[in-house]
Amino acid sequence: MKNLDRRNFLKSSILGAGAAVLAKPAIAATRRTVSGSEIITRKLGNTGLEIPVLSMGVMRADNPNIVKAAMDAGITLFDTAHGYQRGENEVMLGNLFKDYKRDSIIIQTKVPPGDRRNEPSDKSDSEIRQAFLEKFEISLGRLKTDYVDILLQHGAGNREAVLKEPVMDALLQAKKDGKTRFIGLSTHSSEPEVIRAAIEAGIYDVITVAYNFKQDHRAEISSAMADAAKAGIGFIGMKTMAGGFMDQEKTRPVNAKAALKWALQDPHLTTCIPGFTAFDQLQLDTDIMTDLELTPEELQELEISSEVIGLYCQGCLICTGQCSKGLPIPEIMRSYMYAYGYGEMQKARETLDEYGVQENPCAGCTGCTVKCTKGFPVAERIADISRIKNVPFDFLT
Amino acid sequence: MKTRFVFYLFISAAVPLFLIAADTGETGFPKLKGWKLTVSPDVYTPENLWDLIDGAAESYLSYDFIDLHLADYENKGGTVIHVEIYRHNTLDDAFGIYSSERNPGSEFLDIGVQGYRDEGVLNFFTGPFYIKLYSTGSGKEVQESLGSVARAVSGHLGRGNDWPGMLGAFPPEGKLENRDHFVRENFIGLNFLHSAFTAEYEGNYKLFVIVGRDSDEIMEMAAAYLQFTKQDIDPAKESSFIIKDRYNGDIPVVLKGSFMAGIIDGAGNADAHRNLDALVRNLEPLVRNLVDL
C-alpha cells in the first residue's frame, strides 16, 4: 500500500475541500464595554487574566502619548523587554505608568537568559540564575513597579533553552518573591518544539509566540498551541504582520487588520501585540477589538484561499453537548482541518486517536443534531475524516 | 560644534540632505597587538536581524539598517570583548538609533562622534556606523579594554567625529546635554510627519525641526496635520500658528521654506518661544542652501 498523502486522501474523499464554507467566525470570547464600544476579550490560559484581543508591543514607541491613546482605546496589556532601546523603552513606560492605578495595567517584560549571542556560556548555573534575576531587578526599577504581571524568558529558540534549569529557577524565584504574577517565554523560531518543551517543563503560564498567515509551519504551531492550551498555557501572538510586506521587493504592504484578524481566528491565541508607532496605525488596529470577522476581500489580500480558511474550526465550543453520541466535534473538525487544509495526515489521525474517535462514529444515527455556528456540514466531515482510521499509521505522511 | 555646523552647511550646499547616499565603505575589524581577533562568518541583514536580537530588531530596521558584522577580541588574560558593527544608511540614521538607546546618565567618551561606557558595555557611533562593545567580565581592566578596543575600531573605520549638522541649529540656552534625538519615522506618532531632529530643554519642553524635500512637502505635511486636528487654518509658506493636537497637546509651529520647526510641551513657555525663534534663525541659512539647489 502506498503512503497516503494529502492528494490521495482528498482524491478518495466524497467531499473534498471544495465544500468549505466561509461564514462568520464564532470565537470563544466575552465582551466588555469601553467608551461605548463592546471590546472582545479572551482569557489568557489559566492565569485568570481576561484581555482584549488587541494589546500593544511597545518596543518602538518612544512617544508616551501613543501608549496613553492605546489605554484610552481599551488596551490593557503592554509588552516591553529588558533590551528594547537598551532599557529606555521600560523607562518610558515606567514614567508613564507611575501615574496610573497599577492594577489597571498588565505589564509584560522579557529578560534574556544570557549573553546576546547564541554561544555556549562558560557561566555556572548559579551565575546564569543570578544574572537573570539581576537584569529583572533592573527592569523593575526602570518600570517603577514592585512587580510585573508577566515575566518572560526572551527568545527561547529550542527545547534546550526552554528547559534550561537556572533560567527556570530564576523565573520561579521571581514568581515566588511576588515580583511577577506569571512566568513564560517568548519564541519566534522552532515554535512547535519550544511550545511542546514548555508543556513538558510544566512551569510556564504564558507563551508569546510568532504566529502569522505566512508561516509554512503554522498548522504545527496551531496544533502545539492547542495541546499547550489543554495544559493551561495562554498564548500571546507577535509578528502577526509577517514582516510587513507581501512581496520581497516590499512594494505591497500587508493589510495589518486582516493579518491580525487571521491570527486571532485561532481560539488559543488570547491577544496580539502589534508594535504600532503612529496614531493612525493604532486606530486601524483597534477596529479589530470589536470585530474579528475576516471578509473575503481581506482573505484575498492575504492571498489565502477561501477554501482553506473555511476549514478553520474556531473552537467556539457552542456545539459541545449537541451530538447525541457525545462526539468531540471541535476536535474532529480540527482533525479535518489538519488533513484537508494542511495535508498533515499523521496529525489528523493523532487527533482522532487522542479523543478516541472510532471509524464511522456516526453509525446508527438517523440525523445530525449538531448545528455548527460556522455552517460546517458536520456529519459529512466526520464521515470523511474518520475514514483515516482505516489507514495504518505508518502509511500516513 | 560650530565648526561642524559650518561643515554641514558646506555639505548641504552640495547635496540635499535626503539625497546623501548610503555609505558603502567596508566594515572591518582592526588587528590589535595582544588580542586574538575572531571575526564571525555570520553577517546579519534586515532579513535575519531578528534571529540575533529578537524584537529589538524593529528599531534598527526603522533606521535604515543595512548589515551587522560581529567579532571577538580575546587577550591572554582571558578577557573577551564582543564587538558589533551595525551599518546604517546615513550618519543621521546611526545617530538616530544610537541616541534612542543612549542614557543621559552614562559616562560619556570622545570615541567616534560620541560614546558612552557603562559596566561591561561601551557604545559609540561614527559616520553611518553604530558600534556596540560588551564584555562578560568586569572590573577596571575590562572597562579600560573596552575603551582601547573601541578607539581602535573607530580609528579603523575612519569616519571622523562629525555630528549630524542639523543638531548645530538648536540654540544652546537651556539645552540639556545628551538629550537630542533623530526620529526616522512617525514623528510624535503621526505618520504624515516623517523624520525629525529634537532637543530637550530645561523646563521639560522640546524643540523640533522637520526638513522636507522642498517647501511643497512641508506645506503638505502642515495641511495633513491641520486636517488631522480639524483646524480651519490655511497656512502660508512662511507662517506660524498653534496646532491643537488632542494627543500631543498644543504645538506652536513655524513654517519656513523647506522646514517646519516647533515646540512640544512648552506652548506657554516664553523661553521655549525665544529658543524657537533662535532655532528658526539658525535654520535659515540651511533653508537658503537647500532652496538654491
Q: Specify whether A167 is located in the same domain as A213.
A: yes
The answer, yes or no, to whether residue A116 has pLDDT greater than 70, is: no
* Within a domain: A156: yes
What pLDDT score was predicted for residue B166? 93
Q: Specify whether A254 is located in the same domain as A337.
A: no
CA B42 to chain A, closest CA, distance in angstroms equals: 11
Nearest CA in chain A to B53: A116
Query: Predicted confidence band at A342 (pLDDT cuts at 50, 70, 90)?
Result: low
Region A336-356 average pLDDT: 77
Q: Specify whether A71 is located in the same domain as A11.
A: yes
Query: Predicted confidence band at A321 (pLDDT cuts at 50, 70, 90)?
Result: confident
Q: Specify whether A150 is located in the same domain as A37.
A: yes
Question: SS3 string of chain A?
Answer: CCCECHHHHHHCCCCCHHHCCCCCCCCCCEEEEECCEEEEEEECCCCCCEEECECEECCCCCCHHHHHHHHHCCCCEEECCCCHHHHHHHHHHHHHHCCCCHHHCEEEEEECCCCCCCCCCCCCHHHHHHHHHHHHHHHHHHHCCCCEEEEEECCCCCHHHHCCHHHHHHHHHHHHCCCEEEEEEEECCCHHHHHHHHHHHCCCCEEEEECCCCCCCHHHHHHHHHHHHHCCCEEEEECCCCCCECCCCCCCECCHHHHHHHHHCCCCEEEECCCCCCHHHHHHHHHHHCCCCCCHHHHHHCCCCHHHHCCCCCCCCCCCCCCCCCCCHHHHHHHHHHHHHHCCHHHHHHHHHHCCCCCCCCCCCCCCCCCCCCCCCHHHHHHHHHHHHHCCHHHEC
Query: Predicted confidence band at B6 (pLDDT cuts at 50, 70, 90)?
Result: very low
The last residue of one of the domains, among A238, A273, A306, is: A306
Domains of chain B: 35-157 (3.40.1000), 165-292 (3.40.1000)
Between the ranges A14-18, A219-223, B66-70, where is the mean pLDDT highest?
B66-70
The answer, yes or no, to whether residue A21 has pLDDT greater than 60, is: no
Nearest to B191 among A81, A86, A280 (CB): A280
The answer, yes or no, to whether residue A213 has pLDDT greater than 80, is: yes
- Chain A residues at the B interface, defined by Cβ less than 8 Å, are 57, 59-63, 65-66, 68-69, 81, 83-88, 110, 112, 115-117, 123, 154-155, 186, 188-189, 238, 275, 277-282
Nearest CA in chain B to A109: B55
* Within a domain: A51: yes
Regarding predicted confidence, which is higher, A248 or A297?
A297
pLDDT tens string B122-154: 999 999 999 999 987 778 899 999 999 999 999
What pLDDT score was predicted for residue A13? 44
Region A18-33 average pLDDT: 46
What pLDDT score was predicted for residue A58? 94
Q: Specify whether A230 is located in the same domain as A379.
A: no
> Mean pLDDT, chain B, as a whole number?
87
B248 touches chain A (CB under 8 A): yes
* Within a domain: A377: yes
The answer, yes or no, to whether residue A97 has pLDDT greater than 90, is: yes
Q: Is the pTM of this model over 0.90?
A: no
Q: Across the A/B interface, how many CB contacts are shorter than 8 Å?
A: 84
CA B254 to chain A, closest CA, distance in angstroms equals: 22
Q: Specify whether A359 is located in the same domain as A272.
A: no
Q: Specify whether A343 is located in the same domain as A243.
A: no
CA distance A130 to A120: 17
pLDDT tens string B207-243: 999 999 888 999 999 999 999 999 998 888 789 999 9
What pLDDT score was predicted for residue A234? 98
**CATH number for position A108:** 3.20.20.100
Query: Predicted confidence band at B64 (pLDDT cuts at 50, 70, 90)?
Result: very high
Region A146-170 average pLDDT: 95
The answer, yes or no, to whether residue A251 has pLDDT greater than 80, is: no
Q: Specify whether A288 is located in the same domain as A336.
A: no
What pLDDT score was predicted for residue A78? 98
* Within a domain: A1: no
The answer, yes or no, to whether residue A66 has pLDDT greater than 90, is: yes
Q: Specify whether A210 is located in the same domain as A352.
A: no
The answer, yes or no, to whether residue B81 has pLDDT greater than 60, is: yes
Percent helix / strand / coil, chain B, rounded to 5: 35, 30, 30
What pLDDT score was predicted for residue A319? 85
* Within a domain: A132: yes
Q: Specify whether A186 is located in the same domain as A257.
A: yes
CA A364 to chain B, closest CA, distance in angstroms equals: 54
pLDDT tens string A367-397: 899 988 778 889 999 999 998 988 887 777 6
Nearest to B100 among A62, A65, A83 (CB): A62
B48 touches chain A (CB under 8 A): no
Q: Specify whether A256 is located in the same domain as A339.
A: no
Residue B149 is placed in which grid cell? 578596543
Nearest to B55 among A59, A123, A189 (CB): A59
Query: Predicted confidence band at A1 (pLDDT cuts at 50, 70, 90)?
Result: very low
Q: Specify whether A140 is located in the same domain as A284.
A: yes
Query: Predicted confidence band at A81 (pLDDT cuts at 50, 70, 90)?
Result: very high
Nearest to B58 among A60, A188, A281 (CB): A60
What pLDDT score was predicted for residue A50? 96
Between A214-218, A245-249, B98-102, B262-266, the lowest mean confidence (pLDDT) is in A245-249
* Within a domain: A60: yes
Q: Whole domain around residue A33: which residue ranges?
A: 6-306
- Give percent of chain A above pLDDT 70: 83
Query: Predicted confidence band at B10 (pLDDT cuts at 50, 70, 90)?
Result: very low
Phi, psi (rounded to 5 degrees) for B212:
-95, 175
What pLDDT score was predicted for residue A147? 98
* Within a domain: A324: no
B224 touches chain A (CB under 8 A): no
What pLDDT score was predicted for residue A85? 85
Q: Give me the number of domains chain A comprises.
A: 2
CA distance A185 to A154: 6
The answer, yes or no, to whether residue A12 has pLDDT greater than 70, is: no
- Asked whether the ipTM of the predicted complex exceeds the cut of 0.90, the reply is no
What pLDDT score was predicted for residue B24? 32
* Within a domain: A321: no
A277 interaction partners in chain B (CB closer than 8 Å): 62, 185-186, 189
The answer, yes or no, to whether residue A365 has pLDDT greater than 60, is: yes
CA distance B7 to B235: 33
Whose cell is 502577526? That residue is A240
Q: Per the CB < 8 Å rule, is A123 touching B55?
A: no
